[in-house]
Chains A and B, each alone.
Chain A
Amino acid sequence: MTDKQAGGDVRLSGISKTYGSFTAVHPLDLTVPQGSFFALLGASGCGKTTTLRMIAGLEEPTTGTVRLGDRDVTALPPHKRPVNTVFQSYALFPHLNIYENIAFGLRRRGIKSVKKQVDDMLELVQLGDFAQRKPHQLSGGQQQRVAVARALINHPQVLLLDEPLGALDLKLRRQMQLELKRIQTEVGITFVHVTHDQEEAMTMADTVAVMNGGRVEQLGAPAELYENPRTTFVANFLGTSNLLEAEVVRNTDGEVVVTVGGGKLRLPAGRCPDATATGGKVLVGIRPEKISLAPAADVDAVPAGRNSVTGRILDSSFIGVSTQYVVESPAGKGLEVYAQNVEHRAGLEPGAEVVLHWNPEHTFGLDAAQAIDAGVETVGETP
């Protein structure tokens, strides 16, 4: 329907949405490259769905423009945009059977012979035997696949997915994540996926934009976001981070030295905010799985050059592949440590005095002016 070769990027410029005095989305610039799997990640009410609906045309932006390739589609109604949506509750038409649900878009565009395309699409989502059934006779996972097929059959320039897996149970969700990823690779259409599930976003997307309070906090590849969070929100929302309030002692030769709870820690200057200066404050972050744990008696066995803090184990929980420890330390309360269960280790029971040590390269620094617990409670919250 449109030529898909020449610059099919989705470009949002200065786009915003306000409802009365409430600002759902602050002016936002975002480019989604053609053919990519792009995720908008955030807690409920962060503006991610509103952003998606503005791309679909279901919501009119207060300011800014939406472009698909070279075309400005800001003023186009939804039925004139080469964009299709998979809705959160699927929104399958209850009065039509699966076949007619999938054929809906083609028929509205006046295409007469839809049979072959519909059959192909039913094949793609493995629902060939269900064509004559009504949506309510299908399971959640099957309905979800119909919703995807109904949108994809139109070969949209962009497929928008609004929490498409939110209603499925965990196992089915994992399965559908892989399936959606497979379909995206197969058809090569740009996917913009809205989700509150950070794992889902990281598993599926090439690029993730983390949204908070109507703004994009950070944008990048999943690994990049995880390893180099630039805000406490991203650090806490994507996985878990131990954040320690520290004072900068020295910033020389690409290395920053800080004091935390009486001890000294080192981290690369390249992983600190630009304005890190001696005497200033900084938040030092370390991911739980990067930390090694040793009984306090073995402190001499810790290799030289590693960051280390002392502490006492408050709690430990056995997860199977790993054991999660909560450690109280002069450096910070409730530090989390994930240790792989390779072999049983003595002396790591609750109450034991321990040493936490890690490679300084794995430490990151964040601007100390932010709330240290931003994004903590919102993890795992359903919309």
Chain B
Amino acid sequence: MQWLRRNLVVIAGLLTLAYLILPNIIVMVFSFNKPAGRFNYAWREFSTDAWRDPCGVADLCGSLTLSLQIALWATIGATVLGAMIAFALVRYRFRVRGTINSLIFLPMAMPEVVMAASLLTLFLNLGAELGFWTILIAHTMFCLSFVVVAVKARVMSMDPRLEEAARDLYAGPVQTFLRVTLPIAAPGIAAGAMLAFALSFDDFIITNFNSGNTVTFPMFVWGSAQRGTPVQINVIGTAMFALAVLIVAGGQIVTNRRRKRALPQ
């Protein structure tokens, strides 16, 4: 009883962690499965077949490449535009600033399916051909709000005197931005960019409405789930998960090493 009381926080933490990670573990484990039929829902035997041939399913790797491309471009577009909006909102006083500040939240608050339908209406009325470009425009649009919010928080906490100090120390406007403003705002911009990438990569609803005949990875998974779930889907999922963990762990190691080096002997 005593022991339980002392370790309650740890136990609660571990249980929550398990709750979070269990689905990922299932995905991972079943990527090594060799299912009997077309559905990868029951464990049969260990196999690395799917790992040795990840593109073995028709159209899977094509849709994956497309999704990565869209996510990359949407991230770049949303990050550049969002960072600029965030700087403008924090640094400058102009007439419609308050309005823009609230309008930025609109895409986040709007139900996604409503947004998706409205976008489709808009694209059809404009006579736009549905496909790569309509998906990219839609993704950039809904990622923008998240980038703005992430960067704004960072820029708001920045001391404007740092830039004054840079100007005072012979840095022109461009140098000040590159050497001081950007590096200090970088964590906020990076957070916004990562969020944008994740949101765009696995978006289904808006993409489904506005894609025409184009098939992204989430749509491929959805489509194939009607007929059967290839193990390769789990392989891709596991690979993405592992990549994300590697990036986070790598970042952590670099920070730790830097901190250690900076500390006294």
Are A79 and B264 closer than 8 Å at their CB atoms? no
A80-107 interface code vs B (CB 8 A; 1 in, 0 out): 1001110111011111010000001100
Contacting residues, chain A, for B167 (C-beta < 8 A): 57-58, 77-79
Complex interface: chain B residues within 8 A of A87 (CB): 161, 164-165
A134 contacts the other chain (CB 8 A): yes
The digit string for A127-157, where 1 denotes a CB below 8 A from any CB of B, is: 0010011100100000000000011001000
Binds A, one of B85-93, B115-123, B168-176: B168-176
Q: Which residues of A contact B184 (CB under 8 A)?
A: 93-95
Chain A residues within 8 Å of B263, by CB: 133, 137
How would you classify the secondary structure of chain A's contact residues: helix, strand, loop or mixed?
loop
Contact-residue size bin, chain B (C-beta under 8 Å from the other chain):
20 to 34
Q: Is B27 an interface residue (CB 8 A)?
A: no
Q: Which of B147-192 contact A (CB under 8 A)?
A: 159, 161-162, 164-172, 175-176, 179-180, 183-184
Would you call B170 and A109 a contact (CB within 8 A)? yes
Contact check, B169 vs A104: say whether CB atoms are below 8 A apart.
yes
Q: Is B262 an interface residue (CB 8 A)?
A: yes
Per the bound structure, the CA–CA distance linking A150 and B165 in Å amounts to 10
B166 contacts A134, CB within 8 Å?
Answer: no
State whether the Cβ of A345 lies closer than 8 Å to any Cβ in chain B. no
- From the candidates B162, B165, B262, name the one contacting A137 in the complex (CB within 8 A): B262
CB distance from B160 to the nearest CB of A (A): 9
Which residues of chain B come closer than 8 Å to A95, judged between CB atoms? Answer: 183-184
CA distance A101 to B159 in the complex (A): 16
B161, B168, B175, B263: residue with the most chain A Cβ atoms closer than 10 Å: B168
Partner of A58, one of B164, B169, B172, B264: B164
- Interface presence of A56 (CB below 8 A): yes
Question: Contact between B165 and A93 (Cβ–Cβ < 8 Å)?
Answer: yes
A185 to chain B, nearest CB (A): 24
Known contacts A133-B262, A137-B262; is A85 also within 8 Å of B170 by CB?
A: no
Bound complex: CA A57 to CA B170 (Å): 12
Bound form: Cα–Cα A47–B124 in Å: 61
- Chain A residues with CB under 8 Å of B172's CB are 77, 79
Q: Which residues of A contact B162 (CB under 8 A)?
A: 91, 93-94
Q: How far is the CA of A89 from the CA of B184 in the complex (A)?
A: 17
A142 to B89, CA, bound (A): 35
Q: How many angstroms from the CA of A89 to the CA of B165 in the assembled complex?
A: 11
Asked if B170 and A93 make an inter-chain contact with CB atoms under 8 angstroms apart, the answer reads no
Q: How many A-B residue pairs have CB under 8 A?
A: 74
Contact for A108 among B161, B169, B183, B261, CB less than 8 A: B169
Task: Assess A78 versus B164: contact at CB under 8 Å? Given A104-B169, A105-B169.
Answer: yes
> Which residues from A are CB-within-8-Å of B176?
79
- Taken together as a complex, chains A and B put the C-alpha atoms of A96 and B264 apart, in Å, by 17
| Nearest-CB residue, chain A, relative to B182 | A95
List chain B residues, Cβ under 8 A from A108.
169-171, 175, 179
**How close is A323's CB to chain B, nearest CB, in angstroms?**
44
Name which residue of chain A comes closest to B170, CB basis: A108
Q: Which residues of A contact B171 (CB under 8 A)?
A: 79, 104, 108
Contact with B along A52-80 (1 / 0, CB 8 A): 00001110000000000000000001111
Q: When chains A and B are docked, how far (Å) is the Cα of A133 from the Cα of B258?
A: 10
CB distance from B156 to the nearest CB of A (A): 15
What are the residues of chain B within 8 A of A97 when measuring CB–CB?
Answer: 262
Taken together as a complex, chains A and B put the C-alpha atoms of A94 and B179 apart, in Å, by 12
Q: Are B261 and A132 closer than 8 Å at their CB atoms?
A: yes
- The CA-CA distance from A192 to B199 in the complex, in Å, is 53
Complex formed: what's the CA distance from A123 to B1 in Å?
60
CB <8 Å contact, B168 and A84: yes
Residue of A nearest to B183 (CB): A95
Closest 3 CB pairs of A and B: A105-B169, A91-B165, A108-B170
- Chain B residues close to A by CB (< 8 Å): 159, 161-162, 164-172, 175-176, 179-180, 183-184, 261-264
Interface CB pairs A-B, < 8 A, 20:
A57-B167, A57-B168, A77-B172, A79-B170, A84-B169, A85-B168, A91-B159, A91-B161, A91-B164, A92-B165, A93-B165, A93-B184, A95-B183, A95-B184, A97-B262, A104-B171, A104-B179, A108-B175, A129-B264, A132-B261
7 extra interface residue pairs, beta carbon distance < 8 Å, beyond A129-B264, A154-B170: A58-B164, A78-B164, A85-B164, A87-B161, A93-B166, A108-B170, A154-B169
